[in-house]
Amino acid sequence: MSTLDLFAPAPDDATLMAQLRRTLHEHAHRYYVLDVPTLPDAEYDRLFRELQALEARHPELVTPDSPTQRVGGKPLDQFAPVRHAVPMLSIRTETDTEASGAENFDARIRRELGLSPTDAAIDYVAEPKFDGLAMNLRYEQGVLVQAATRGDGEVGEDVTQNIRTIGQIPLGLPVDAPAVLEVRGEVYMRRDDFEALNDKQRAAGQKTFVNPRNAAAGAVRQLDPAIAAQRPLSFYAYGLGAVTPPDVGGPVWQSHFEMLQTLKSWGFPVSELVKCAQGAPALVAYYAAIGAQRDGLGFDIDGVVYKVNSLALQRQLGFVTREPRWAVAHKFPAQEMLTTVLAIDVQVGRTGKLTPVAKLAPVFVGGVTVTNATLHNEDEARRKDVRVGDTVVVRRAGDVIPEVVSVLLDKRVGTPAVFTMPRQCPVCGSAAVREEGEADYRCTGGLFCSAQRKQAILHFAQRRAVEVEGLGDKLVDQLVDVGIINTLPDLYRLGFTALAKLARMADKSAQNILDALEKSKQTTLPRFLFGLGIRHVGEATAKALARHFGKLDAIMDAPEEALLAVADVGPIVAKSIRTFFDQAHNREVVEQLRACGVTWPEGEPAPVAVQPLSGQTFVLTGTLPTLGREEAKALIEAAGGKVAGSVSKKTSFVVAGVEAGSKLDKARELGVAVLDEDQLKEMLDGGA
């Protein structure tokens, strides 16, 4: 036996390592791509460490596709250039943001193919246009060997080290994949990951990113892969680059859609929003449907992409200069635009919070005309250094309120004054104070401050509270300013004559408001409680309180310890509720509202065990139409239910929204009931 043999790994170690790699790949895929983890994190970590230990003993057996190799490289000085085997072309952009963009494309394709109006409709694939960075992933003999940015289309940058850290990207392919395969797609950052990253940056006193795209670009072009590994990136595949030898040893695809399905089966994330569409009308419908979902998606898109599905037709159509003739990007209205700051106002919220707001020259952004953008608080306004007259980038994406993301300093004229928060409430003149450790200034005027009164009334009248249809901010401004209304009960003392006398108030509208007020008197305890505007008592907490105590008086008189027994209530919330009802004027408001006829069915206290969802486990998947994931989770938990991350036989219900994906498939496979958002809400309300 030679010395070498003595040190050779025991054959079972090599086998064990291969097994561990396979198992870890399988579970990483379930976790990152399918979103259905079936292995507890601790067990994954244990297997990972076992593989690491074996690799430390046998460094010669470490393979580049080992899951331990996602993060590992040393910081670089610069990225190496990569000449693309097949140029990464850009696609032509249809800037027409009307439906006709799809019709123009279809008409052009039909003309190029010499089709007459009576010929059959063309099969297309319609895809979201992800707003990230295009990436070319090169696999040789099934192993990821290189990831490169698009660059100028001919030469990109080698960012392999950073791209390997993206859990969704397979490091290895099944044996039936071609010997050389380049997969193209978009690296992007989800909105929730972006918000969490910015929170983390702020907490660490580091610079925040202006949007998910910039954050993703920063991560991809990060020279230290250890830092890149901490930036949460995602990936969607949408095409191919070089595939050699051409169609040998791998599948031969007839269509783009078929090819995407194969990529999916090989472990690449392919969006559920990618659809087949026949002819122009289907493309027009797709543009509208995706446009309607845009705000609720978990990530930014800037349009949709239409592609001819047949690969034979794609070849026939070919390219014009550097763009394929068979694809077009159809943009949505931009989510970021430039405008100028006309003034910086300070608004007073319901709880007295002072918020600096940039008044903007009107600008069409994210599908709406924006004239105001929040600057959040004094520190944020200073950090961004927004000044009157500045040219700024305004962003409105998702359902978030419009925001000033940055100032174009080279466009600043002169030296406008730095923003400072007033030390007095701009509305009532009371002192404005900033408590230690808080970011916000608050007006100390309470209900003496007309701004706080107005906000309190609007809060009470909103749809999610007692709902007084037609009572909007303009009318509340008038009612408070002329002194007809000072407190909530005054609403129910409004007479027709007083209302009809208001400027721009027709008799019919006055009557409608009175009818709406009358209707709002029949409400529910959770709506009423929420409407009172007790600090920290949102809808979910109001529901939990109502369910727990049954009657308002029981809540009003409950000591803090009793409030703490409610599932959703912690010490801060309990104290806030107690403080609110300890104030005589708040109890008086409640009594007067009741005296005016505001009423709700009261119930018996419900012990925690009979909450509507107690004992039930829910799994959330996809994007729900109105509820955010955290919000849905809070509501389910407040109703006694549990929220789990993956579907199993123990799951009671899967709540599915757009892009539901594999959790939904799993639910169907196991026969688990699937709910939409409306059905979930019904259950939360105690129905079903």
DSSP string of 451-490?
Answer: HHHHHHHHHHHSTTTT--TT--HHHHHHHHHTTS-SSHHH
Nearer to ligand 9MJ, 186 or 193 (CB): 186
The nearest distance, CB 358 to ligand 9MJ, in angstroms, is 31
Q: Would you state the structure tokens that stand for residue 678, as one six-digit string?
A: 């409306």
- Of 74, 129, 521, 543, the catalytic one is 129
Dihedral sign computed on CA atoms, order 271, 273, 277, 283: negative
Q: Using H for helix, E for strand and C for coil, what is the string for 327-387?
A: EEEEECCCCEEEEEEEEEEEEECCCCEEEEEEEEEEEEECCEEEEEEECCCHHHHHHHCCC
Residue type, 683: M
CA angle 121, 124, 130 (to 5 degrees): 150
The nearest distance, CB 305 to ligand 9MJ, in angstroms, is 4
Distance CA 76, CA 222 (A): 9
Nearer to ligand 9MJ, 76 or 89 (CB): 89
Distance CA 222, CA 189 (A): 15
CB 91 within 8 A of CB 323: yes
Dihedral of the CA atoms 631, 632, 633, 636 (nearest 10)? 120
Alpha-carbon separation of residue 664 from 11, 167, 275, 653, 671 (angstroms)? 41, 21, 18, 10, 10
Nearer to ligand 9MJ, 327 or 638 (CB): 327
The nearest distance, CB 91 to ligand 9MJ, in angstroms, is 5
Nearer to ligand 9MJ, 331 or 629 (CB): 331
Burial (Cβ within 10 Å: 0-12, 13-18, ≥19) of residue 656: buried
Tracing tokens 């958002």 back to the chain, one arrives at: 677
Residues 6+ apart with CB under 8 A from 677: 624, 625, 626, 627, 632, 655, 657
The nearest distance, CB 482 to ligand 9MJ, in angstroms, is 54
The nearest distance, CB 336 to ligand 9MJ, in angstroms, is 17
The nearest distance, CB 186 to ligand 9MJ, in angstroms, is 5
The nearest distance, CB 127 to ligand 9MJ, in angstroms, is 4
Nearer to ligand 9MJ, 216 or 344 (CB): 216
Nearer to ligand 9MJ, 91 or 564 (CB): 91
Helices 279-293 and 100-112, interaxial angle, to 10°?
Answer: 150
Distance CA 595, CA 592 (A): 5
The nearest distance, CB 661 to ligand 9MJ, in angstroms, is 17
The nearest distance, CB 316 to ligand 9MJ, in angstroms, is 17
Distance CA 44, CA 80 (A): 34
Nearer to ligand 9MJ, 51 or 658 (CB): 658
DSSP string of 73-101?
Answer: PPPPSSPPEEE-SS------EE---STHH
Peptide bond preceding 128 in cis form (omega within 30 of 0): no
Q: Residue 191 has what DSSP assignment?
A: H
Nearer to ligand 9MJ, 108 or 575 (CB): 108
Nearer to ligand 9MJ, 314 or 611 (CB): 314
- Which residues contact ligand 9MJ by CB under 6 A? 89, 91, 127, 129-130, 186, 238-239, 305, 327
Q: Would you state the structure tokens that stand for residue 207, as one six-digit string?
A: 């610079």
Active site residue 649: no
Q: Count CA within 13 A, CB hemisphere, residue 521.
A: 17
Q: Residue 619 has what DSSP assignment?
A: E
The nearest distance, CB 304 to ligand 9MJ, in angstroms, is 8
Catalytic residue annotation: 129
